[in-house]
Amino acid sequence: MTRSSFMTRKELIGFLILAAVIFLLLPAMLDSFRLNLFGKYLTYAFVAVGLALCWGAGGILSLGQGVFFGLGGYCMAMFLKLEASTPENTAIQSTPGIPDFMDWNQLTELPVWWQPFYSLPLALLAVLAVPVVFAFIIGFAMFTRRVGGVYFAIITQAFAAILTILIIGQQGYTGGVNGITDLRTLLGWDIRTDEAKTTLYFVNGVLLFAVLLIAQYVRKSKLGRLLIAMRDQEDRVRFSGYNVANFKIFIFCLGAAFAGIGGAMFTLQVGFMSPTLVGIVPSIEMVIFCAVGGRLSILGAVYGALLVNWAKTSFSEAFPELWLLGLGGLFIAVVMFFPNGLAGVWSEQIEPRLTKLSKRSDTATPKRAAERAPAE
Amino acid sequence: MSDETPKKKSTGLSRREVLAGGTALSAALFLPKSLKAADFPTAEINTTGLAVTDDTVTIGILHSVTGTMAISETGSVQAEKLAIDQINAQGGILGRKIEYIQEDGASDWPTFAEKARKLLVNDKVASVMGCWTSASRKAVLPVFEQHNGFLYYPTFYEGLEESPNVIYTGQEATQQIIAGLDWVNQTKGAKSFYLLGSDYIWPRTSNKIARKHIENFMEGCKVVGEEYYPLGHTQFNSVINKIRLRKPDVIYAIVVGGSNVAFYKQLIAAGIDPSAEKPIVLTISVTEDEIRGIGGENIEGAYACMKYFQSLENENNLKFVEEFKKMWGDDIAIGDVTQAAYLGPWLWKAAVEKAGSFDVDKVREASPGIELTTAPEGYVKIHENHHLWSKTRVGRAQADGQYEVVFETAELVEPDPFPEGYQ
């Protein structure tokens, strides 16, 4: 294994297995309704991958990833809402042609900052740019002042709370608690049909792999190694002459961009966006996905997002009044027994045994120590 | 029942509607109490592949039983289960027993949408009793419209909506507001109003309607203040100071959820005792359920404007309260929404039997004009706009957590979800 190689054989196999699960296994096993649910779960995986980079590799624990997920989602929702609010569709309103919630709040014209969202390219740009700019501002303000660790986590949580209150308070402009609902078409393509949802599922999968490859590239690059160095001994990196803040800002912005893409895909899959996805609770849930999957592994993060959400859905269907307890038990068990999450279980328990097995059959394979990163 | 027939209004009810209502009434009278399943072959009464077998029909219950809304929505779930039990005890619908699949919306709007899709697409339920907050309804609405589901929505809400796939068994805003304002003006001589509420669409829309009514339709009356606070807000001292400064005749409060507890306690602490009626406290957001949280002694003397109170003394309601307590224990409070939720399965039963089919399109067609003479709130009837004709009542809160009914409209009030002159 050379240090510069982009992907070891082991990692390649991991990627291929995930690809097989997402593109072959799930579509073959599930009906369109369940597949659509997994499509929704996959949108959370974008956030989890970003978190695996920020938290697992960089040691930056953000409890406000919902902010970026929400911003990306809202940018997409604004475009779709404008497309749905044609004067014909909204003829019943006092001011036809503006989104319904604006009409309910006595707005008589579209606010200026909504105007760019008539254009899909601008909206797509905003899906990436708005979360990144926001992340840059937070990151710049925090990291250049060397705010880190728990303090940073608390501040990001505060941002999640602030943004939720802002969105709810400005309901004439944002749809308030209800969010932006009743989204119908994307450039005339009905996103509500089963076929559209299946198509979106695959688009989701492809985008997720693009994001995973970027994440893999970052981890394997010099930047990735610096991040790990910073996580473990920030001062030594600083004394070696690196500007620690810049690296942190970059990785935080990258995580935000991933979350923004996830948010936009969420809006397309689910058909609405609301402040419940921006606040503290979903932000913490996203951290849980990452923790269950294993914060040190980007693939683990994807599995974590899928598994936790799947468990959430199935528990709540089976035990509508008790499911939260079951889910809580799952999290406690993971934290107590598998501190490195699913990926840790794989690399510490299953993989060594597999290697042992294959060694027995093929003694030529050199023994490879399981890669372990120290716990924070 | 002729004296209960809705009053004809120049803008509202057409002759045709009255006739249609009459037909429905006579049809309902002549329907046998229990219908045999064999008379209704499944293939004929279910042409769209809903979950109907030769002896069962499956519906969905979709409320939050976990999360912040659970405390409010539990009553609705209980009422719906009671209604289903009672209908089954009478032989079910078209000879089929109702089975239900309960899903938890978890106080989370995307979850509501997910579960609604599951109920409609996966479980093929024939109808759904569910949702509570406006946000959850808005989240599931596109799902119901796309998959042609049928939702019975129990909460009093802001109006501005009329979906072919929803029957609104609660009041829209004008039904809850206008009669109450007129009452407080005429019997208490109130002239000035201070509007306040939690910051989301229902309180805002309701206060908008209240303001328009006060300013345009009530002579010599004015609004002296209007303010909103985020959900969960607990510091009301500043607004209470402003209220003391401006001395309104009425505090019109649409504070929801946990904020209520802080609001009423701080009112009393500031020397504004609702029972002194200086000023009068009038609310449309506190039912018997909320009083359990606020504490009867903290809100005693305040007035609430609803369509139902647990203390209503008609035969239907006495029976309803008794059976509700038998099923769910003596230690319960039945609020306005709980009663509205109870109507859902009954209204659906009546519509299915009138249509002679479970098909959503036929049930929808049959729904306008459906009447219930057995409703705990009294007689109700479905309007063409899918809302209910119902009375507006004013109750005065008692220390024991119940309301004493002090006023009710003589006639049923027409639902008007898009009120002209109030937009």
CA distance A276 to chain B (A): 7
pLDDT tens digits, residue range B232-242?
A: 788 999 999 99
Alpha-carbon distance B91 to A335, whole Å?
Answer: 51
Residue B28's Cβ-side half-sphere holds a number of Cα atoms within 13 Å equal to: 22
Examine the pLDDT at B139 and tell me if it is beyond 60: yes
Using DSSP's 3-state secondary structure scheme, residue A109 falls into coil
pLDDT tens digits, residue range A107-131?
A: 888 999 999 999 999 999 999 999 9
Q: Which residues pair with A225 in a beta bridge?
A: none
Q: In whole angstroms, what separates CA B122 from the centre of its chain?
A: 28
* B204 near A CB under 8 A: yes
With CA atoms as reference, the chain A residue closest to B198 would be A169
Report the CATH architecture of B173-306+392-408.
3-Layer(aba) Sandwich (3.40)
Q: Tell which wins on pLDDT, A1 or A347.
A: A347
pLDDT of residue A361: 63
pLDDT tier for residue B23 given thresholds of 50, 70 and 90? very low
pLDDT tens digits, residue range B182-194?
A: 999 999 999 999 9
- Cα Rg of chain B (Å, integer): 21
Q: Which amino acid is at A333?
A: A
* B199 near A CB under 8 A: yes
Q: In whole angstroms, what separates CA A298 from the centre of its chain?
A: 11
Residue A352: asked if its preceding bond is cis (omega within 30°), the reply is no
pLDDT of residue A341: 84
pLDDT tier for residue B108 given thresholds of 50, 70 and 90? confident
Q: At CB < 8 A and 24+ separation, what contacts does A303-310 make? A: A303/A18, A303/A342, A303/A343, A304/A48, A304/A341, A304/A342, A305/A41, A305/A42, A305/A44, A305/A45, A305/A47, A305/A48, A306/A38, A306/A41, A306/A42, A306/A45, A307/A342, A309/A37, A309/A40, A309/A41, A309/A44, A310/A37, A310/A38, A310/A41
Look at domain B40-171+316-389 and name its CATH class.
alpha beta
Angle at A361 between CA A357 and CA A365, to 5 degrees: 85
Closest to B118 measured CA to CA, from A69, A312, A47, A261:
A312
Q: Where are the domains of chain B?
A: 40-171+316-389, 173-306+392-408
pLDDT tens digits, residue range A268-313?
A: 999 899 998 998 888 998 998 998 888 888 999 999 999 999 988 8
Q: Which amino acid is at B165?
A: N
Query: Across chain A, how many H-helices and E-strands are there?
Result: 17, 2
pLDDT of residue A327: 81
Closest to B120 measured CA to CA, from B80, B153, B147, B100:
B147
pLDDT of residue B34: 56
Q: In 10 A of CB B16, how many CB atoms?
A: 9
CA distance A316 to chain B (A): 7
* Whole-Å CA distances, B402 to A240, B293, B380: 73, 13, 23
CA distance B290 to chain A (A): 21
Closest to A323 measured CA to CA, from A308, A337, A334:
A308
Test mutation, A94, A165, A270, chain B, max B CBs within 10 A: A270
Q: Tell which wins on pLDDT, A170 or B341.
A: B341
Q: Look at A141-155, A312-326, B135-149 and tell me which has the smallest mean pLDDT.
A: A312-326
Alpha-carbon distance A252 to A136, whole Å?
Answer: 8
Q: Where are the domains of chain A?
A: 9-339, 342-376
* Whole-Å CA distances, A123 to A79, A133, A297, B313: 6, 15, 31, 58
Alpha-carbon distance A302 to A292, whole Å?
Answer: 10
pLDDT tens digits, residue range B314-358?
A: 999 999 999 999 999 998 999 999 999 999 999 999 999 999 999
Examine the pLDDT at B1 and tell me if it is beyond 60: no
**Chain A, window 28-87: residues with a beta carbon less than 8 angstroms from a chain B beta carbon:** 31-34, 36-37, 40
Task: With beta carbons less than 8 A apart as the criterion, state whether B273 and B240 touch.
Answer: no
Contact list in B for residue A34 (CB cut-off 8 A) is: 122
With CA atoms as reference, the chain B residue closest to A191 would be B146
pLDDT tens digits, residue range B42-76?
A: 999 999 999 999 999 999 999 998 887 887 899 99
- Taking all residues of chain B, what is their mean pLDDT, rounded to a whole number? 89
* B32 near A CB under 8 A: no
Of B65, B204, B231, the CB nearest to A320: B65
Alpha-carbon distance A359 to A5, whole Å?
Answer: 24
Task: With beta carbons less than 8 A apart as the criterion, state whether B260 and B281 touch.
Answer: no
* B208 near A CB under 8 A: yes
pLDDT tier for residue B8 given thresholds of 50, 70 and 90? very low
For residue B157, which phi and psi values (nearest 5 degrees)? -150, -175
- Locate tokens 């899709």: which residue? B117
- A362 contacts: CB under 8 Å, gap ≥ 6: none
Average confidence (pLDDT) over A149-170? 91
Helices (H), B11-120: 15-30, 42-45, 70-89, 109-117
Examine the pLDDT at A31 and tell me if it is beyond 50: yes
Q: CA torsion sign, A344 to A346 to A348 to A349?
A: positive
pLDDT tier for residue B131 given thresholds of 50, 70 and 90? very high
* A324 near B CB under 8 A: yes
Of B142, B200, B418, the CB nearest to A168: B200
pLDDT tier for residue A316 given thresholds of 50, 70 and 90? confident
With CA atoms as reference, the chain B residue closest to A165 would be B230
Q: Tell which wins on pLDDT, A157 or A95.
A: A157
**Chain B, window 351-380: residues with a beta carbon less than 8 angstroms from a chain A beta carbon:** none
Q: Which amino acid is at A150?
A: V
pLDDT of residue B2: 43
CB pairs under 8 A between A and B: 103
For the residues of A343-357, what is the DSSP string, one character each? HHHIIIIIHHHHHHH
CA distance A265 to chain B (A): 14
* A291 near B CB under 8 A: no
Examine the pLDDT at A241 and tell me if it is beyond 60: yes
Read off the pTM: 0.85
* A181 near B CB under 8 A: yes
CA distance B58 to chain A (A): 16
Q: In 10 A of CB B330, how many CB atoms?
A: 7
Q: In 10 A of CB B29, how many CB atoms?
A: 9
β B303-306/B393-397 pair status = antiparallel
User: For chain A, what percent of residues have pLDDT higher than 70?
Assistant: 95
- Cα Rg of chain A (Å, integer): 22
* Whole-Å CA distances, B181 to A326, A368, B9, B41, B338: 48, 79, 20, 52, 24
* B233 near A CB under 8 A: no
Closest to B218 measured CA to CA, from B245, B247, B250:
B250
Contact list in A for residue B148 (CB cut-off 8 A) is: none
Closest to B94 measured CA to CA, from B131, B143, B141, B53:
B53
* A197 near B CB under 8 A: no
pLDDT tens digits, residue range A327-373?
A: 888 888 887 888 888 888 888 888 888 888 877 765 544 444 444 44
Examine the pLDDT at B19 and tell me if it is beyond 50: no
Query: Residue B326, exposed/middle/buried by CB under 10 A (0-12, 13-18, 19+)?
Result: exposed
Q: Which amino acid is at B413?
A: V
Q: Which amino acid is at B3?
A: D
Contact list in A for residue B139 (CB cut-off 8 A) is: 178-179, 181, 272, 274
pLDDT tens digits, residue range B249-280?
A: 999 999 987 788 899 999 999 999 999 988 99
pLDDT tier for residue A54 given thresholds of 50, 70 and 90? very high
pLDDT of residue B33: 52
* Whole-Å CA distances, A295 to A13, A67, A153, A340, B391: 19, 20, 16, 7, 58
With CA atoms as reference, the chain A residue closest to B65 would be A321
pLDDT of residue A335: 79
* A89 near B CB under 8 A: no
- Taking all residues of chain A, what is their mean pLDDT, rounded to a whole number? 88
* Cβ contact, residue pair A178, B201, below 8 Å: yes
CA distance B299 to chain A (A): 28
Examine the pLDDT at A66 and tell me if it is beyond 50: yes
Task: With beta carbons less than 8 A apart as the criterion, state whether A230 and A251 touch.
Answer: no
CA distance A95 to chain B (A): 11
pLDDT of residue B15: 47
Closest to B100 measured CA to CA, from B75, B130, B134:
B130
Contact list in A for residue B111 (CB cut-off 8 A) is: 316
Contact list in A for residue B129 (CB cut-off 8 A) is: none
* A111 near B CB under 8 A: no
pLDDT of residue A362: 57
CA distance B107 to chain A (A): 9
Examine the pLDDT at B9 and tell me if it is beyond 80: no
